């Protein structure tokens, strides 16, 4: 019987020389990039283009005058941009049918670190089960936590652990986990006791990313990010076009 | 009331630009360097000198003909050395009163990464409570996991979490933990359910380091490493003399 492998990386830098080609990559930046992107795609945005710098976003904006500009620096909306990095800013009435040029540092770097993978998915707690269902038949999965400014953040590790736990519970084949996957699963299983959106949000508020969001006065974003399975949608990044679309509307 | 801070680093490389000066550092390489060093010191070795290369160890050996040479490469005893890296090779009848020139790669690198700290302690599960008692009055603690060849290993993270859990339980002051400390504590708390030496050893055998030791046919070393509080001894590395001695016999 074939083995299913899951390798978790608690930071993009820990990917090192690992060869991702042939595997499915999952990018996690719970607070808030991947949560917000999932909201945008669930709310019928045409696509989200993840960009590293403000200049790149502005350059693309000049070429695409009907696109919306979104993202953050220091957690705040960027001067002249249409939207910040809060999932609440991305309802269907705003983003439906739109292309969104989106710049955040940690999340975009994590996506770039995955660009050699065969498939790249975007995950939050808001689409945990949908992502796991998408991964059910993938023999080798790489889960990459974005972290914050090069530091491991607990909220990303908890979601990585939730994915490992979910896939391990459902697996019919033997599982092979790297140590980071085992650690993430341990951390998640400890959090899973008496799990509700409230207890999960409380844990996220203690993390480095959570404390940052609280400092910005955006506590509601954490409650949104902790809402398990709000959407049945899996955003998928095409490494050739560098566009994120609903995986049901993307080429496989 | 003053806060007690614990920063865990799941790998030496994750210390980054963090300034350790003024803090107490704890070095962890459960399988097997820090477990073995603790055995040597508990068994009355005069001191252990941690060295990075075989050549350094041989050079020191020439200057210290009565010293014992110990350590490993690829988990195996080094040609011409007296002892390997198994704690069972370090009974009092062999090491009592002796200076030990000891070379392992991961553990020694982790110690070097801590050399600016005010105090450097060596920890295993075998001296968990003694280490925590030693740290009880330290306001800022840095716990550094050695990992294996640049990869995070679960056995080191579990011990880091055990130290965080122990100190948090005993603390009378508010605690401030970095995210890696929270993740390690989560992982440990999950392992702590129904904790015995047997269940802990089983967890260690699943880790990367554990699988390596099993491959070498040295399963007994894992059972030894999982023996909680076998010793009431804290080896302490003096960054000036670069010697590890029983902290009760060292200058503070």
Q: What is the pLDDT of residues A6-48, one digit of tens each?
A: 999 999 999 999 999 989 999 999 999 999 999 999 999 999 9
CA distances from B199 to A54, B225, B228, B251 (A): 51, 12, 12, 38
Residues 1-30 of A with CB under 8 A from B: 10, 14, 16
The closest CB to that of A183, out of B150, B187, B189, belongs to B187
* B199: chain A residues, CB-CB within 8 Å: none
Residue with tokens 């294996």: B148
User: Mutate which of A180, A189, A190 to test chain B, going by most B C-beta atoms within 10 A?
Assistant: A190
| A47-94 tens-digit pLDDT | 999 999 999 999 999 999 999 999 999 889 999 999 999 999 999 999
Cβ within 8 Å of residue B46, ≥6 positions away: B97, B98, B99, B245
pLDDT tier for residue A249 given thresholds of 50, 70 and 90? confident
Residues of chain A in contact with residue B206, where contact means CB-CB under 8 angstroms, are 182
- Answer whether A157 sits within 8 Å of B187, measured CB to CB: no
| pLDDT at residue A251, rounded to an integer | 55
Here the ipTM equals 0.91
| CATH code of the domain made up of A5-238 | 3.90.1560.10
Do residue A179 and residue B14 have CB atoms under 8 angstroms apart? no
Checking if the pLDDT of A252 tops 70, the result is: no
The number of CA neighbours under 13 Å toward the Cβ of B133 is 11
Please report the pLDDT score of residue B251 as a whole number.
55
| Residue B60 sits at the chain A interface (C-beta within 8 Å) | no
Chain A residues with CB-CB distance to B208 below 8 A: 178-179
Sheet holding A119-123, edge to edge: A76-77, A68-73, A99-103, A47-51, A243-246, A235-238, A119-123, A24-28, A140-145, A4-9, A175-177
Among candidates A151, A152, A186 on the partner chain, residue whose Cβ is nearest the Cβ of B186: A186
Shortest CA gap A153–chain B (Å) = 6
pLDDT under 50: residue ranges of chain B: 252
The string of pLDDT tens digits covering residues B202-213 is 989 988 889 999
Contact B207 A151 (CB under 8 A): no
For an interface test with A, the pick among B11, B153, B187, B209 (most A C-beta atoms closer than 10 Å) comes out as B187
Mutate to test the interface with A, among B156, B186, B194 (most CBs of A within 10 A): B186
pLDDT of residue A60: 96
Residues 6 or more apart whose Cβ sits within 8 Å of residue A169: none
Which residues touch B195 (CB under 8 Å, ≥6 apart)? none
State the smallest CA–CA distance between residue B191 and chain A in angstroms: 7
**Average of pLDDT values for A116-145?**
97
**Cross-chain CB nearest to A179 (options B153, B178, B184):** B153
State what percent of residues in chain A have pLDDT above 70. 98
Cβ of A183 and B180 within 8 Å? Answer: no
Residue B89 tokens read as 């090779």
pLDDT (tens digit per residue) in A157-194? 999 999 999 999 988 888 999 999 999 999 999 878 77
Does the beta carbon of A104 lie under 8 angstroms from any beta carbon of chain B? Answer: no
In angstroms, the separation between the Cα of residue B229 and the nearest Cα of chain A is 23
| Beta-carbon separation of A191 and B187 below 8 A | no
Chain B's closest residue to A158, CA to CA, is B183
For B66, the 3-state DSSP assignment is coil
Interface of A with B in 174-233 (CB under 8 A): 178-180, 182-184, 186-191, 206-208
Domain ranges of chain A: 5-238
Contact yes or no for B183 and A183 at CB 8 A: yes
Taking the Cβ of residue A247 and every Cβ of chain B, the question of whether any pair is shorter than 8 Å is answered with no
Query: What is the distance between the alpha carbons of residues B155 and B200, in angstroms, rounded to a whole number?
Result: 9
- The separation between the first and the last C-alpha atoms of chain A, rounded to the nearest angstrom, is 25
Question: What's the confidence (pLDDT) of residue B252?
Answer: 47
A64 neighbors A14 (Cβ within 8 angstroms): no
**Are A207 and B178 within 8 A, CB to CB?**
no
pLDDT at residue A186, as a whole number? 92
Phi, psi of A153 (to 5 degrees): -120, 140
Per DSSP (E only), the strands in chain B are 4-9, 24-28, 47-51, 68-73, 76-77, 99-103, 119-123, 140-145, 175-177, 235-238, 243-246
């Amino acid at each position: 019987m074939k083995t299913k492998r899951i390798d978790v990386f608690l930071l993009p830098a820990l990917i090192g020389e690992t060869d991702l080609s042939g595997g499915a990559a999952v990018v996690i930046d719970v607070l808030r990039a991947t949560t917000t992107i999932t909201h945008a795609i669930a709310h019928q945005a045409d696509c989200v283009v993840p960009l590293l710098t403000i200049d790149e976003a502005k350059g693309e904006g000049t070429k695409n005058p009907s696109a919306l500009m979104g993202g953050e620096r220091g957690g705040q909306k960027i001067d002249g941009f249409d939207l910040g990095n809060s999932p609440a800013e991305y309802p269907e009435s705003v983003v439906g049918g739109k292309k969104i040029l989106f710049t955040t540092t940690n999340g975009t770097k994590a996506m770039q670190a995955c660009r050699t993978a065969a498939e790249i998915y975007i995950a939050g707690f808001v689409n945990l089960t949908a992502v796991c269902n998408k991964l059910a038949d993938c023999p080798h999965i790489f889960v990459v936590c974005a972290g914050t400014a090069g530091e491991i953040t607990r909220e990303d590790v908890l979601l990585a652990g939730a994915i490992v736990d979910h896939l391990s519970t459902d697996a019919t084949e033997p599982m092979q986990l790297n140590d980071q996957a085992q650690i993430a699963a341990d951390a998640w299983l400890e959090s899973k006791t008496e799990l509700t959106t409230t207890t999960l949000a409380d844990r996220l508020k203690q993390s480095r990313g959570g404390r940052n969001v609280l400092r910005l006065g955006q506590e509601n974003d954490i409650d949104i990010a902790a809402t398990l399975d709000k959407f049945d949608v899996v955003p998928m990044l095409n490494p050739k076009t560098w566009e994120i679309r609903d995986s049901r509307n993307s080429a496989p």
